[in-house]
Structure 1
């Protein structure tokens, strides 16, 4: 329905127009929970769409945040975007999505455009060790949440980092394989230049050490120094890795892949060689994307609590935008991952 006004919403919900206005402008604390629910239901029934330009004039804020991800070609990022958008829409915000391919120049260009359009909050998902390429905008007041990245030396004081504990996640995955009797493990990653990938490798190494092994006893497959940094080809990278690993004089009995898309590629390469995933070679991924449970066999993986992480990212940005939180009060939030065991991992043969 077009042309619905705030007054019609108020009549439908049995409240005053000012109550509807409080909800639309991010002040739900001024009403009872049941009142808020009636107003939200009335908005949905009538198809009311608030006038963003008018709201900006009243509040001085644009109700939009930016989201810069490596690539939605990886379903992990599409799922995170959906959860972030859900959290934002529930509070009257919208999300603008950009794909950076982890290119610092491309990230800087997107963030500069978002800033120029009046957007003062951005979730940046590159996991690059340095954020110097966007530092000038942070110093000018941009609220930035770095997702899938832990705090690094040289970070600006106002930066908020939100991440799963990648070290613990990789430890859980590698320990699972070691407990199944595997002693010849491979770690397939592509480039190890990003913060999250380095941390997953640390977790892998820590689990090996716990069992009296070292990375010298394993195979670390990184694709060579020229391997691309982006996420687009990670499944092909996994398939290539599997083919090379199987031809090794001492092939691995189990593979820990840097993420689920890579793990699915590894699984395809194993099948290409006429071997069975989970029986001849076990495979474990990281992320628990929607495809993990649909794979054949279903993929053992490390689950990230994406709904909670997305809600936390939005809450930090909203607080910064609306309440003008102290720009020097940066913080880091580290969430615990979960091992999800499926049929792609089995006892060593």
Structure 2
């Protein structure tokens, strides 16, 4: 294993002072001639010099490290979000550490403690479902953190710090309006976990619009699919038995499960059932490109979340207290048209 080249060695080889090398390699403003700057960079590259981040952190009081904790990295929405967040951090000169809480508060707490001990500059957190149910522990931990924290997507605990997510009520409304436009009159909704505020809001928006259009409660079937492919698959028969012609699934994965079960019955979408999904995340992985769905723009969510955190990092660096900030930014979802919604059969609206 080779020895780490020091900044002094680069300075000696380039025939300049260590301070000059530090200014150039850390991209600090200076009046150093361009020729000298290039000579320093050439020497650093030839010697394979790597900036000592620990040493720089002692001087600048920053590590340029950001932590991201997600509930389930196997969830395609969170996986795609993590990728976009990493791009945003890297563009600003920060490195991103990613960890998975498995949707458990104990794991989440341990990860937060571990990262905070590393003197990270900021934390991006999608809270676990257990923190949804009992948010006080998470709130206390965030309040005690020495660096800014921004919540993403799951904003039920956003009273203690800033959060960025999508307007899930509006997303449910968009799904309902699309199915009503196709003249459906009997509906089903497969939601996520019953105590997930995002799923509840999507279902609330969906039902509110249906009732405002005089759809009777007896014509609306509400089910819980736990956001899983198997949830949609196992509940498809209930939807068919109910006689729904329009279905709203609170994520695309459950919509895929329903479509799989219908195919096994030799039933076709949208002839047998019109379906609206949610997220539009599957399309990024080359699947369900024909699904009509409510899109949450993952790139926009990542950029806005990073902007929120970075703003507080800069405030924190200037010594201004940002711990009391409690603003919530809600982004607007939109319908992405596919081939899974069609006019209801003539007998439904004749």
Rg comparison, structure with higher value: 2
Structure 1 residue 171, shift from structure 2 partner: 0.5
C-alpha separation in 1, matches of 2:50 and 2:96: 16
C-alpha separation in 1, matches of 2:280 and 2:291: 8
Shift in CA distance, 297/336, structure 1 to aligned 2, threshold 3 Å: closer
Equivalent in the alignment of 1:103: 104
TM-score normalised by length of structure 2: 0.80
C-alpha separation in 2, matches of 1:197 and 1:179: 23
TM-score normalised by length of structure 1: 0.80
C-alpha separation in 2, matches of 1:117 and 1:103: 22
Structure 1 residue 320, shift from structure 2 partner: 2.4
Three-state SS of the structure 2 residue aligned to 1:82 is helix
Equivalent in the alignment of 1:83: 84
Equivalent in the alignment of 1:12: none
Equivalent residues of 1:68, 1:124 under 8 A apart: yes
- Contiguous gaps of at least 5 residues in structure 2: 15-19, 346-350
Q: Name the count of aligned residue pairs.
A: 317
Equivalent in the alignment of 2:335: 339
C-alpha separation in 1, matches of 2:21 and 2:216: 68
Which stretches of structure 1, 4 residues or longer, exceed 4 Å deviation after superposition?
2-9, 46-49
Three-state SS of the structure 1 residue aligned to 2:26 is helix
Structure 1 residue 166, shift from structure 2 partner: 0.7
Structure 1 residue 290, shift from structure 2 partner: 3.8
Equivalent residues of 1:205, 1:214 under 8 A apart: no
Equivalent in the alignment of 1:148: 153
C-alpha separation in 2, matches of 1:293 and 1:342: 16
Equivalent residues of 2:283, 2:289 under 8 A apart: no
Match of 1:285 among 277, 287, 293: 277
Structure 1 residue 292, shift from structure 2 partner: 6.8
- Contiguous gaps of at least 5 residues in structure 1: 10-14, 24-29
C-alpha separation in 1, matches of 2:284 and 2:236: 18
Mean Cα displacement is larger for which, 324-333 or 166-175?
324-333
Equivalent in the alignment of 1:260: 252
C-alpha separation in 1, matches of 2:22 and 2:62: 21
What is the root-mean-square deviation of aligned Cα atoms in Å?
A: 3.2
